[in-house]
């Protein structure tokens, strides 16, 4: 019996240049972004300038985490206590967490079997709630039709903040993910597309929103040291009214990230071949549904999802257990209580959302795997082979009617 021996959580080591850059920062000790000597430009400011260039955004701000980027973005566009914020029913806990952090209330929107926000339900919820903000999560790298979404939101005065934690390096209609909405938020946490342990980036073309974000991030009165920022005049009218929420990125993390930016395109290409290899290996598995991607979507395959729409919970749990025995770390979104990074909108009691009858069966049949770049194509062939065999074997047992798990050995 084939067993997979690799690790689903092992990312690649940092590139030599990142290690060298980090040693330099450690050597001089000026880790705080505003601690510079005469003539020196902070690593954090350079990172912002380079990421703005990479995405084509006017402005960029480096922050302590992706979650911090979303909180700061919401606050920067004026979302506050009691406001309603629309968001996908399928996302990660820091998204509703960011909404809760500004005292706002989440209105969850249904998702489609392709794991993108349901635009019909979005239109209905915009009408029913009168919410003026959408925190759109491109969860696990799945992008909805951004042209339709922006047209709908534009028509109703709904401002869009994009959560691009899984779409750094992805494009929709030729534009980088994060460039369609008013602000785009990225994470540089270890499991995302560039790695500084923790970290976040926020981009925008909007002068007022970005000036407020920079002040909120905790820039004291040193905003003139930012290179990818609005003109100082924009800050004049805001600086005494905007609280300091201390969420800065430091120079050490910025120095580690800068050398990774030029590597992003090559990483995206490798992720794509891992993803495609997995998809080919599973395309003839009975009952298994892969997500469909729009022609305008250039995605990053840093994780892999599939649905087993005909299965019940027992078969799902059997598959997770059998896959684990063979070294395949499969997550399932149908469990009653959250496990690890897998939680569901109805687990977030702090965000007490209404039921989503279309999303529930999708999440109950949804499986998820990381595809770290330490995997080879041969690894993906083997993982797909193991999953295919286990799914076929479970299928042969018929529907999971008798109330017990199938045997795991
Ligand atoms: C990781 C992630 C974030 C942000 O995470 P941080 O850990 O705060 O950097 C936001 N949204 C999604 C969908 C994520 O997976």
- Residue-wise pLDDT for 230-274, tens only, equals 999 999 999 999 999 999 999 999 999 999 999 999 999 999 999
User: pLDDT category, 24, cuts 50, 70, 90?
Assistant: very high
C-alpha pair distances (Å), 379 with each of 190, 194, 376, 389: 21, 22, 5, 15
Per-residue confidence (pLDDT) for residue 353, from 0 to 100: 75
Residue 409 confidence (pLDDT) above 80: no
Pocket residues for ligand 1 (CB within 6 Å)?
Answer: 65-67, 91-92, 94-95, 137, 139, 163, 165-166, 187, 189, 200
Per-residue confidence (pLDDT) for residue 341, from 0 to 100: 78
Q: Could you tell which of 11, 62, 66 is best to mutate to test the pocket of ligand 1, judged by most ligand atoms within 8 Å of the CB?
A: 66
Distance CA 323, CA 320 (A): 5
Ligand 1 midpoint to CA 269 (Å)? 22
Ligand 1 midpoint to CA 96 (Å)? 11
- Residue-wise pLDDT for 164-217, tens only, equals 999 999 999 999 999 999 999 999 999 999 999 999 999 999 999 999 999 999
**Looking at residues 326-335, what average pLDDT do you find?**
95
Ligand 1 midpoint to CA 201 (Å)? 11
Q: Could you tell which of 192, 247, 257, 302 is best to mutate to test the pocket of ligand 1, judged by most ligand atoms within 8 Å of the CB?
A: 192
> In DSSP terms, which residues pair with 163 in a beta bridge?
137, 185
Contact of 63 with 217, CB cutoff 8 Å: yes
Residue 10 confidence (pLDDT) above 80: yes
Among the listed residues 101, 140, 75, 62, the one whose alpha carbon sits nearest the alpha carbon of residue 297: 140
Protein residue closest via CA to atom 5 of ligand 1: 66
Structure tokens at 404: 């017990």
Under 8 Å CB-to-CB from 17, ≥6 apart: which residues? Answer: 259
3-state helix, strand, coil in the chain (%, to 5): 40, 15, 45
This prediction has a pTM of 0.97
User: pLDDT category, 403, cuts 50, 70, 90?
Assistant: low
Ligand 1 midpoint to CA 139 (Å)? 9
Which atom of ligand 1 is the closest one to the Cα of 65? 9
- Residue-wise pLDDT for 66-101, tens only, equals 999 999 999 999 999 999 999 999 999 999 999 999
Q: The dihedral of CA 54, 55, 59, 64: what is its sign?
A: negative
Which atom of ligand 1 is the closest one to the Cα of 189? 9
B/e letters for 216-236, b = 16+ CB within 10 Å, e = fewer, are: bbbbeeebeebbbbbeeebbe
| Secondary structure letter of residue 220 according to DSSP | T
Structure tokens at 184: 């785009």
Please give the mean pLDDT across all residues of the chain. Answer: 96
User: pLDDT category, 50, cuts 50, 70, 90?
Assistant: very high
Which atom of ligand 1 is the closest one to the Cα of 198? 9
- Residue-wise pLDDT for 339-388, tens only, equals 877 888 988 888 877 899 999 999 999 999 999 999 999 999 999 999 99
Per-residue confidence (pLDDT) for residue 265, from 0 to 100: 97
Per-residue confidence (pLDDT) for residue 346, from 0 to 100: 87
Which atom of ligand 1 is the closest one to the Cα of 200? 9
Among the listed residues 228, 222, 235, 215, the one whose alpha carbon sits nearest the alpha carbon of residue 254: 228
Higher-pLDDT residue of 281 and 349 is 281
CATH 3.20.20.70 fits 265-396, yes or no: no
312 burial level (CB within 10 Å; 0-12, 13-18, 19+): middle
For 60-77, the three-class secondary structure string (H helix, E strand, C coil) is: EEEECCHHHHHHHHHHHC
Protein residue closest via CA to atom 14 of ligand 1: 165
Per-residue confidence (pLDDT) for residue 342, from 0 to 100: 81
Ligand 1 midpoint to CA 189 (Å)? 8
**Looking at residues 8-25, what average pLDDT do you find?**
97
Residue 408 confidence (pLDDT) above 80: no
236: three-class secondary structure by DSSP: helix
Which atom of ligand 1 is the closest one to the Cα of 139? 13
Under 8 Å CB-to-CB from 107, ≥6 apart: which residues? Answer: 84, 85, 86, 87, 125, 129, 131, 353, 354
E strand or H helix at 23: helix 16-28
Distance CA 143, CA 173 (A): 11
Ligand 1 midpoint to CA 266 (Å)? 22
Per-residue confidence (pLDDT) for residue 64, from 0 to 100: 98
User: pLDDT category, 330, cuts 50, 70, 90?
Assistant: very high
All CATH 3.40.640.10 domain ranges in the chain, comma separated: 16-262
Protein residue closest via CA to atom 1 of ligand 1: 165
368: three-class secondary structure by DSSP: strand
Distance CA 175, CA 393 (A): 43
User: pLDDT category, 131, cuts 50, 70, 90?
Assistant: very high
Per-residue confidence (pLDDT) for residue 125, from 0 to 100: 97
Among the listed residues 51, 61, 30, 50, the one whose alpha carbon sits nearest the alpha carbon of residue 216: 61
All CATH 3.90.1150.10 domain ranges in the chain, comma separated: 265-396
Residue 111 has φ and ψ, to the nearest 5°, of -120, 160
Structure tokens at 256: 């580690």
Task: Spell out the CATH class of 16-262.
Answer: alpha beta
């Amino acid at each position: 019996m084939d067993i997979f021996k690799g690790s689903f959580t092992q990312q690649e080591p940092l590139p030599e240049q990142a290690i060298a850059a980090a040693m330099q920062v450690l050597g001089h000790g000026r880790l705080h972004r505003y601690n510079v000597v005469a003539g020196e430009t902070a690593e954090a400011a350079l990172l912002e300038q380079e990421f703005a260039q990479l995405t084509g955004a006017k402005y960029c701000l480096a922050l302590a985490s992706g979650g911090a980027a979303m909180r700061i973005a919401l606050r920067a566009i004026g979302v506050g206590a009691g406001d309603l914020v629309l968001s996908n029913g399928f996302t990660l806990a820091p998204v509703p967490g960011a909404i809760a952090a500004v005292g706002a209330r989440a209105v969850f929107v249904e998702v489609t079997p392709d794991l993108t926000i349901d635009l019909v339900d979005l239109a209905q919820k915009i009408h029913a709630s009168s919410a003026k903000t959408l925190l759109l999560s491109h969860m696990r790298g799945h992008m909805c039709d951004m042209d339709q979404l922006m047209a709908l939101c534009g028509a109703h005065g709904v401002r869009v903040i994009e959560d691009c934690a899984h779409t750094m390096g992805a494009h929709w209609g030729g534009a980088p993910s994060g460039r369609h909405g008013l602000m785009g938020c990225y994470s540089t946490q270890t499991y995302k597309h560039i790695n500084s342990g923790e970290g976040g980036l926020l981009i925008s073309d909007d002068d007022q929103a970005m000036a407020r974000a920079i002040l909120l991030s905790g820039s004291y009165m040193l905003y003139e040291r930012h290179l990818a920022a609005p003109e100082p005049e924009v800050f004049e009218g805001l600086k005494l009214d905007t609280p300091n929420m201390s969420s800065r990125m430091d120079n050490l993390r910025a120095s580690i990230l800068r050398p990774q930016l030029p590597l992003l395109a090559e990483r995206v290409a490798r992720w794509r071949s891992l993803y495609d290899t997995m998809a080919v290996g599973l395309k003839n598995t009975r009952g298994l549904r892969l997500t469909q991607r729009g022609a305008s979507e250039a995605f990053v395959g840093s994780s892999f999802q599939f649905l087993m729409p005909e299965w019940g919970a027992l078969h799902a749990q059997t598959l997770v257990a059998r896959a684990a025995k063979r070294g395949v770390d499969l997550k399932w979104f149908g469990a009653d209580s959250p496990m690890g990074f897998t939680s569901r909108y109805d687990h977030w009691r702090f965000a007490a959302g209404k039921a989503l009858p279309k999303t529930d069966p999708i999440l109950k049949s949804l499986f998820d795997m990381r595809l770290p770049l330490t995997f080879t194509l041969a690894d993906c062939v083997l993982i797909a082979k193991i999953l295919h065999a286990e799914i076929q074997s479970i299928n042969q047992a018929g529907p999971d009617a008798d109330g017990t798990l199938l045997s795991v050995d």
